[in-house]
Structure 1
Amino acid sequence: MKYLALAAVMLLTGCASVVNDSTHPIKVETKTIDGQLVTGADCKLTNDYGSFITKSGETVQIRRSSKDLDIVCKTAEQNDATARAISRANGGMFGNILLGGGIGAIIDHNKGTAYTYPTWVQLIFGKSLVFDRSAEKDGQPTVAAELGSQQ
């Protein structure tokens, strides 16, 4: 009976909703073009759930979403550092498909809990980068792809 109740809760709420919080941490760092770490830059991270403000060198809790996350970091001494963090389905979404079926997957997709951004990004002033969680390695910043230099 206890297992039946647990299964019903997972089906009604979605597997990722049970396993994952609606937020997750992202460490935001900034560097100069020559690789020097810069702390304390003003950073704004934005997705469809709103904007989140932090300083470079800090970790901020971001609302999970199926939409990508735009990041802009500013400091008076440098050109802006911009990036896009790609949202990717996490293990909760696959658990939904295997265990909960379509209802749980739809609920978690709509709530964003089935998605995760890269957990550590390093923006470079004067550049526009893309960070994809599929390139993430534990204990290291996510490797970025460059969109191009800003003027």
Structure 2
Amino acid sequence: MKRSIILAAAAAASFGVTGCATVMNGTSQPVSFRSDPDGAVIKLVTGPSCTTPCKFDMKRGSDSMATYSRAGYKPVEVYIQSRMGGSTFGNILAGGVIGAVVDGSNGASNHLYPNPVFVRLVPEGSTGEPMLLDKNGKEISTVAAYNAKVADDVLKGLEKQGLYAKGQAGNQIGSK
């Protein structure tokens, strides 16, 4: 009986030192990539590539960038931002400081935005701007305006990961 109580207390204590978001969400998130028109090649800054529509499991705590290319269309780069989720504050209340630290350090309390990464491509020779779309195909903003809004944060994240070299010729972004 005493042994059962000790085991139950140990199990409860071990749950208390893990973060709620880590348990509930995990440290990766599926991110969908779409294009209008379909058939664009997506290349992530970390190296993997696919053809739209497609999906990757990506680390919640890591900023990223996807390059879209398709014959006859202008190539476009889209920043993917790791944003702090609302669960962080609830985690501090429910899981305490230890849970918040665990989730903060492994990125589990974050979510990646945009998701889906849905881009309306622009034909070469056109004066139009590539557009970032929501999951229903409704325009959110131009890709350039969205990238400008999140650039400082995302580029710092990519720099920490060794995927961005600030101050070098052309502000190089590339895989390790």
TM-score, structure 1 length as denominator?
0.69
Q: Where do residues 65-84 of structure 1 align in structure 2 (5 Å cutoff)?
A: 65=61, 67-84=62-79
Q: Partners in 2 of 1:121 and 1:45 — Cα distance?
A: 12
Q: In structure 2, how many angstroms separate the alpha carbons of the residues matched to 1:99 and 1:72?
A: 39
The runs of at least 4 aligned residues of structure 1 exceeding 4 Å deviation read: 1-7, 126-131
Aligned-residue identity in percent: 26
Q: Do the aligned partners of 1:44 and 1:51 also contact (CA within 8 Å) in 2?
A: yes
How many Å separate the matches in 1 of 2:68 and 2:44?
9
Letter aligned with residue 105 of structure 1: A
1:22-61 aligned at under 5 Å gives the runs 22-31=27-36, 38-46=37-45, 50-61=46-57
Equivalent residue runs for 1:1-151 within 5 Å: 4-5=9-10, 7-31=12-36, 38-46=37-45, 50-65=46-61, 67-117=62-112, 118-126=114-122, 127=129, 140=136, 144-146=140-142, 147=144
1:69-126 CA-to-partner distances (Å, cap 9, x unmatched) read 3221112221112212332223542332111122211221111111112332211325
Q: Distance in 1 between matches of 2:81 and 2:140?
A: 11
For residues 12 and 86 of structure 2, what CA distance do their matches in structure 1 show? 17
- Gaps (5+ residues) in structure 2? 123-128, 146-176
- Higher RCO, 1 vs 2 (CA within 8 Å, ≥6 residues apart): 1
Question: Could you say which structure has the larger radius of gyration?
Answer: 2
Secondary structure at the counterpart of residue 17 of structure 2 = helix
Alpha-carbon separation, structure 2, partners of 1:21 and 1:62:
11
TM-score w.r.t. the length of structure 2 is: 0.60
Q: Structure 1's 105 and 142: CA in aligned 2 closer, same or farther, altered over 3 A?
A: farther
Task: State the number of aligned residues.
Answer: 132
User: Could you say if the C-alpha distance between residues 93 and 4 of structure 1 is closer, same or farther in structure 2, counting changes exceeding 3 Å?
Assistant: farther
Bigger shift: 116-125 or 97-106? 116-125
Counterpart contact for 1:16–1:95, Cα < 8 Å: no
Structure with the largest fraction of helix: 2
Indicate the structure with greater strand content: 1
Answer whether contact 1:82 1:129 (CA < 8 A) is retained. no
Give the 3-state SS of the residue equivalent to 2:32 in structure 1.
Answer: strand
Structure 1 residues without counterparts, runs of 5 or longer: 32-37
User: d(CA) in 2 for partners of 1:116 and 1:77?
Assistant: 33
- The one-letter code of the counterpart of 1:99 is A
Q: Any idea what SS the aligned residue of 1:87 has?
A: strand
